[in-house]
Amino acid sequence: MAKPRFSVSEITTFRQSFDEDLANYAAAGAEGIGVWEFKLPEGGDAETVAKLKASGLQATTCIPGTLSIYPVPFPGPSDPAERTAELCAAIRRFAPFEPEVVLCLTGHPGPGADPVESRRVIVDGLAQAARVAGEYGLTLGLEPLHRAIYGTWSTIASIPETIALLDEIGEPNVKLLYDVYHLWDTEDVLADTVRYGSRISRSVHICDWRDPTRNDFDRVLPGDGIIDLPAIFGALEAGGVTGWVDLEIFSDDGSFSDQDFEDSLWKQDPVEVVVRAKAGFDAAWAARRPPA
């Protein structure tokens, strides 16, 4: 298996603009950019697409402004039909960027909701979004979220739960969006990664887990935490997952909570952050090992 190409999700450099991200990621040796819709300039996107192509970077995992069927703790409508329409609009907007995958979540219907009806709403909404993505030849990536950290954001938290939902959606262009932060400590993660490798999208989110974690937005760079990344990368390789790794870092500077970490990666030089992250990934990939 070829080594995955290295990309950076724009949330990693939260304070920089889209134009700054293009320049900084290229300068740091990245080959791709995970585009967040909130960073796209207002107005037509033709100039923005041209800037992306001129940068030499490729769009990898694109993140819609409204990214789930049920709400998550981000701004947006509460009605699932409105949310689905906004998700579909974002997919259409991203199409000219030619992304590897467009990320989506289930969201969460909240306490007391009918689980059967909620499941139907999620399946119908994601199937609709997948059909829109299919019109443009795009892949939709459904991401499970860590239950202990993001239990109110998602109804799925493991690889098997996600695969079961993908089977219900029944659209061939919907894949599992694999994020090591959310999956690393789930039961049988290495075996499931190998088993379902063909169902995983070609862009994988990477970072590392601080121990102890100080809040829900406190990720660290690859190699600076406790995730066994060589084992994860070995399992991904054994499962035949190819394409990209996309660095995704949340590092609170007071933007997402009342905690303003002095060592927040969002406060540090963005080029240096990406250079360090790429070195951490390179080392973990070199040390990868196949599952027992």
Q: How many C-beta neighbours within 10 Å does residue 282 have?
A: 15
- Integer Cα distance of 248 and 208 in angstroms: 10
150 occurs within a structural domain: yes
C-alpha distances out from residue 120 to 70, 109, 134, 159, Å: 12, 12, 21, 20
**Residue 52 confidence (pLDDT):** 98
291 found inside a domain: no
Angle at 264 between CA 261 and CA 267, to 5 degrees: 120
pLDDT of residue 256: 87
Tens of pLDDT, residue by residue over 248-289, are: 999 999 998 899 999 999 999 999 999 999 999 999 999 999
Query: Both tokens of residue 187?
Result: 């039961």
Classify residue 128: in a domain, yes or no: yes
35 is a domain residue: yes
> Is 222 a domain residue?
yes
| Residues spanned by the domain of 192 | 5-286
Sequence-distant (6+) residues with CB within 8 A of 36 are 9, 10, 11, 62, 63
pLDDT tens, position by position, 67-79: 999 999 888 999 9
**Tens of pLDDT along 132-186?**
999 999 999 999 999 888 888 999 999 999 999 999 999 999 999 999 999 999 9
Question: What pTM value is reported for the model?
Answer: 0.97
Question: Residue type for 19, please?
Answer: D
pLDDT for the residue numbered 75: 87
Number of domains, the chain: 1
pLDDT digits (tens, 9 = 90+) for 87-109: 999 999 999 999 999 999 999 99
Q: What are phi and psi of 73, to 5 degrees?
A: -75, 45
Is residue 141 domain-resident? yes
**pLDDT at residue 254, rounded to an integer:** 94
At how many degrees (to 10) do helices 159-169 and 115-135 cross? 70
Domain at 144, CATH number: 3.20.20.150
Q: Is residue 52 part of a domain?
A: yes
Instruction: Report the pLDDT value the prediction gives residue 43, as an integer from 0 to 100.
Output: 83
Report the chain's terminal Cα–Cα distance, integer Å: 18
Question: Quick one: 184 exposed, middle or buried, by C-beta within 10 A (0-12, 13-18, 19+)?
Answer: buried
For residue 145, the SS3 value is coil
pLDDT tens digits, one per residue of 203-252:
999 999 999 999 999 999 999 999 999 999 999 999 999 999 999 999 99
- The helix/strand/coil state of 135 is helix
- Asked if residue 292 belongs to a domain, the reply is no
What whole-number percentage of the chain has pLDDT above 70?
A: 100
